[in-house]
A and B are shown apart, each in its own frame.
Chain A
Amino acid sequence: MKIDNLFIKKLKAILLYDFYKNLRSLRILISFILVFAIGLILVYLYGDLFKKNSYVLELSVLYLGNTNIIPLLLGSLLTMDAISIEFEKGTFITLFSKPITKRFYYFGKLLSSILYLLMEILIFILTVFLISTAIFGNQSDVEISLLMLLGSIFVISFFAIFTFSISSMIKNSIASFFITFGLWLALDIGIGLYSYYKGFSTWMFLVPLFGESIIPYAIKQAYLYPNSTFKYYIYNSGMTNIQFLTLIIGVNIIYIILLLLAGYFVFLKSDIKEQ
């Protein structure tokens, strides 16, 4: 792909096109306010317990990425209509009458969604950082929280990409969200019950929409104790923290690539017509 002035202009156009949609969507605003409000309440309730700024940050980061319901609220609700809205509202005809390829549209929308997510997360984390600094003062070890934040961003992005890919295949916003939600719920309940009776196994952490939630914690462990064995409650992975993190990140990157390619090729092969 040639990067020239025209490319930059087109990228700016598609980023703005999607950014305005997200910025002015009541659904996205409400989901963000909800996440934001619950996060701040948690900080208020538990921040005092730790008495340390970095722990408050860490708690916020875990809240974002370690629960899976937050990635669903932030990621999936954001991208459920990223592609399909144009087809549901019939606005795709006028957009595609301009010189824009399906590839540019698909990846442009994806990039725009991820950037929007980053903006939301940044607003949340900055707010928590400023509030907790004001209350508890400056703290050390902030870098651990920031590294874990990368993990949380990865988890939220995974949910966003999952729903984005489904949405570009079936071009139905509501169905895309509920497919993600249904799968997440079924896997969480199924694996939860299985682990209750049989205990945790490594494969469980490789199941999409379930295993990603361990990533922020795994990052912390790999940063602090790279060569120790990765353990989670009574689960013992038998791998070092670094090995476990590499495995889980690697597998999820493969999932992301496969999901994006599947969504892209189905979208590419379909006619541009009303749903």
Chain B
Amino acid sequence: MQLNAEYPIRTENLSKMYVKDKYALNNINIKIKKGVITGFLGPNGAGKTTTIKLLLGLLKPTSGSSYIFEELVKTEKAWIKKYIGYLPEFPKFPGYLTPNELLKIYGNLLGMDKRELYARIDELLNIVELEDVKNKKMKTFSKGMLQRIGIASALLNSPPLYILDEPTSGLDIYGQQLIKNIIKDLNSKGNTIFMSSHLLKEVQEICSDVIILNKGKVIWSGTIDELTHANLNINVSISVNNIDDAIKLLKGQDFIKNIEKNGNYINVFIENKEMVPDIANILVKNNFKIYEIKIESLNIEDAVLNILKGDNNEN
């Protein structure tokens, strides 16, 4: 176990088949940088949760291997999980237990000192704002409350690595903000966070790196900046007189990636905002009257969709 490993999570040709000849995960190679929040994206059924379960040793790979702090993950090496704070998507806990009892049991499994454990439970229930219900049985808890208990459970022994599967799912806006702040705080302390999410804006807000999975394969990985620069366009909507002639004129320009008519507007796709004055100049020089120019940056959702569409078209 190398807690200072450059990549706290690493996989080598990791594959999983649930059904014969049908890969849920096919030869994936990922490296998660230390001290970084990495977003794990992909459509439903892409293999995100399978990857996470393989990293935790909950599932056995069909082939390939995964490493946590350079330690080969195996089902029987349960001790590795002491270094991982895991939050599953829709965490479920025994309804007959109270949060206090549950966290004490988990603390004992983690080998925590009694005094340290009790103090930590109080602290965490305070952070996730559930101290009022710490002695109530969890069978009456809402999805959001269980998600918060899940966060408290993941943070219990302050591990250096966190694997979070859809950490804000089932939470209201306030709960989402609370969890995002906790994640940012964890990262500011040098911890590594690997999180899957459907909420791309959330990923854009808190992640530095991104891995995109589709149909069990990694189809893109890099930083958020790389993702936006490589895959995002600027959409300029222009209102002019004589739209059809203006489109003909602009179609001949090399720096314009695409152009289309959209009602009373022309949508022009370019790589960066600095090209907008050039478009305006061309139109003015050719005696067009410009009534309005709207500049719109396509967001991460468009970028990820572009990548997924590209991958689906290739297949």
Q: Footprint of B on A, CB under 8 Å?
A: 5-6, 9-10, 12-14, 16-17, 20-21, 24-25, 89-91, 93-94, 96-104, 271-273
**28 cross-chain CB contacts under 8 A:** A6-B111, A9-B112, A10-B108, A10-B109, A13-B108, A14-B109, A16-B101, A16-B104, A20-B94, A21-B94, A89-B94, A90-B92, A93-B58, A93-B91, A94-B86, A96-B56, A97-B56, A97-B81, A97-B88, A98-B81, A98-B106, A98-B109, A99-B78, A99-B80, A99-B82, A102-B75, A104-B78, A272-B58
- Determine how close the nearest CB of chain B comes to the CB of A250; give it in whole angstroms: 32
Residue among A9, A17, A96 making CB contact with B58, cutoff 8 Å: A96
B109 touches A91 (CB 8 A): no
- Determine how close the nearest CB of chain B comes to the CB of A154; give it in whole angstroms: 29
Q: Using a Cβ–Cβ cut-off of 8 Å, how many residues does chain B contribute to the interface with A?
A: 35
- Determine how close the nearest CB of chain A comes to the CB of B107; give it in whole angstroms: 8
B141 interfacial by beta-carbon distance below 8 Å: no
- Determine how close the nearest CB of chain A comes to the CB of B215; give it in whole angstroms: 20
- Determine how close the nearest CB of chain B comes to the CB of A211; give it in whole angstroms: 36
A91 touches B110 (CB 8 A): no
- Determine how close the nearest CB of chain A comes to the CB of B201; give it in whole angstroms: 27
B109 touches A94 (CB 8 A): no
A96→B59 CA distance, assembly (Å): 11
B153 touches A94 (CB 8 A): yes
Residue among B92, B97, B109 making CB contact with A99, cutoff 8 Å: B109
Residue among A25, A100, A271, A272 making CB contact with B109, cutoff 8 Å: A100
B96 touches A94 (CB 8 A): no
- Determine how close the nearest CB of chain B comes to the CB of A93; give it in whole angstroms: 5
How many A-B pairs have beta carbons closer than 8 Å: the answer is: 88
**Interface mask (B75-103 → A, CB under 8 Å = 1, otherwise 0):** 11011111010101011111111000100
Known A-B contacts A10-B108, A25-B96, A89-B92; the reply to A101 vs B101 at CB < 8 A is: no
B47 interfacial by beta-carbon distance below 8 Å: no
B101 touches A20 (CB 8 A): yes
Residue among A6, A10, A102, A271 making CB contact with B59, cutoff 8 Å: A271
B150 interfacial by beta-carbon distance below 8 Å: yes
B111 touches A10 (CB 8 A): yes
B60 interfacial by beta-carbon distance below 8 Å: yes
3 nearest interchain CB pairs? A13-B108, A97-B86, A24-B96
A174→B86 CA distance, assembly (Å): 31
- Determine how close the nearest CB of chain B comes to the CB of A116; give it in whole angstroms: 14
B105 interfacial by beta-carbon distance below 8 Å: yes
- Determine how close the nearest CB of chain A comes to the CB of B133; give it in whole angstroms: 17
Chain A residues near B59: list those with CB within 8 A: 271-273
B108 touches A12 (CB 8 A): yes
A97 nearest CB neighbor, chain B only: B86
Chain A residues near B153: list those with CB within 8 A: 94
B156 nearest CB neighbor, chain A only: A98
Chain A residues near B86: list those with CB within 8 A: 94, 97
Residue among B84, B101, B104, B137 making CB contact with A97, cutoff 8 Å: B84
**Interface mask (B54-84 → A, CB under 8 Å = 1, otherwise 0):** 0010111000000000000001101111101
- Determine how close the nearest CB of chain A comes to the CB of B109; give it in whole angstroms: 4
- Determine how close the nearest CB of chain A comes to the CB of B169; give it in whole angstroms: 14
Chain A residues near B56: list those with CB within 8 A: 96-97
